[in-house]
Copies of this chain bind each other. A is one copy, B any other.
């Protein structure tokens, strides 16, 4: 058995990314109504100008701006109202000096006009005369053709996680379908003789499977798909058989449990029993989560996460998720906030500590309160909504300090 040095979380991520740099993820073309939170697999280039014509940004009167110069509440400019632009229609009128044409918000600017006076600053005397009480400058209240986007502009970049605004932008460009990465397929295996499924009776010494449910939801949350979730006893052959199924049907296999120093640690041996580079990382210097293992089996990634539910969630968020984002080249939105630490906490020497916290707003300020738990604590799970990272070279965190909180 090869000897593995415990690595930092950054080193661990690097090793995995380096080994799976050529991981190929297929793409599909789908309707933009179904692309929310999916990852864009192409640059979106505009093939039109938006808007495609000069538009008014207010309800008002299109004029030549010079006609309004000098206008004021006491000395208004008098102009001839020569027509009206209807919403959604081509404007036929042409504005000369002394002319005005009514234009609704979004309406097309008639030829000759270079600006729009808002109706608030105009008095309509009769059907053919208006008084302008305020000067406008050239271009005022006009959105010019291509002001927003020009033909050839890259509007959205490959790797973007698509949000509602992006989908609005795609619609305005007339893109009804876009190319996105397929959802990554995961296979979840909870290992351990003590693990029973949710509806089984719990006998003395057994505990319910928590991890596969939490992992299932974490995977869904990042846009992945779970092919199957299974509970497997601590038995080399059974585990190998299940991993084989996972490799056959999924992109990534995630095991949890069985990665501790216990006597029944088969994860390592099972990973190495397949073709491929075998175990790549065995142990990362974070707390909790040290017994994390990662390997290459048949060219696919296998993660072995700790059995402890809190540890497996932390390792998923802090280790697995960033690796997946990097492999898919995802440019994600900021997912952290700053909060005032509400406690003193010593770090563990030589280890990066991930401390779960719950965020609470008091008097308009955000506080992070620690959630401690010796192990597998439900209360810890159900009341935490973020974590802070205390680096190995820090002594700890102090009450009153402001820190970054990564949202769960």
Q: Which residues of A contact B (CB under 8 A)?
A: 32-33, 36-37, 46, 48, 50-53, 55, 57, 59, 86-91, 104-108, 119, 143, 147-149, 153, 155-156, 163-176, 192-195, 198-199, 202-218, 220-221, 234, 260-264, 307-309, 313, 333-334, 336-338, 359, 361, 366, 373-382, 384-385, 407-408
CB distance from A95 to the nearest CB of B (A): 16
User: A209 touching B171 by the CB < 8 A rule?
Assistant: yes
Task: A198 to B165: give the CA distance in the assembly, Å.
Answer: 16
Cβ-defined contact, B164 with A221, below 8 A: yes
* Identity of the chain B residue whose Cβ is nearest the Cβ of A213 in the assembled complex: B171
A71 to B230, CA, bound (A): 44
Residues of B within 8 A of A143 (CB): 374-376
**Main SS of the interface on chain A?**
loop
Of the candidates B174, B264, B382, the one whose C-beta lies within 8 Å of that of A208 is B174
User: Whole-angstrom distance between the alpha carbons of A338 and B156 in the complex?
Assistant: 25
Contacts of A147 in B (CB 8 A): 374, 377
Q: Please state the number of chain copies in the assembly.
A: 2
B198 touches A171 (CB 8 A): yes
In the complex, A259 Cα to B399 Cα: how many Å? Answer: 50
Please tell me if the beta carbons of B33 and A213 are within 8 angstroms of each other in the complex.
yes
**CB-defined contacts of A205 to chain B, threshold 8 Å:** 53, 87-91, 107-108
Q: Which residue of B lies closest to A219 (CB)?
A: B164
Known pairs A90-B203, A337-B337; A168 contacts B211 (CB<8 A): yes
Closest CB-CB distance, A220 to chain B, in whole Å? Answer: 5
Instruction: Say whether B217 contacts A202, CB under 8 Å.
Output: no
30 contacts between A and B (CB under 8 A): A37-B221, A46-B378, A52-B204, A55-B375, A59-B262, A86-B193, A87-B192, A88-B192, A90-B204, A104-B263, A105-B260, A105-B308, A106-B194, A119-B261, A143-B374, A148-B378, A163-B217, A163-B221, A164-B221, A164-B313, A164-B408, A165-B214, A165-B381, A168-B213, A169-B381, A169-B382, A173-B208, A333-B385, A337-B337, A338-B338
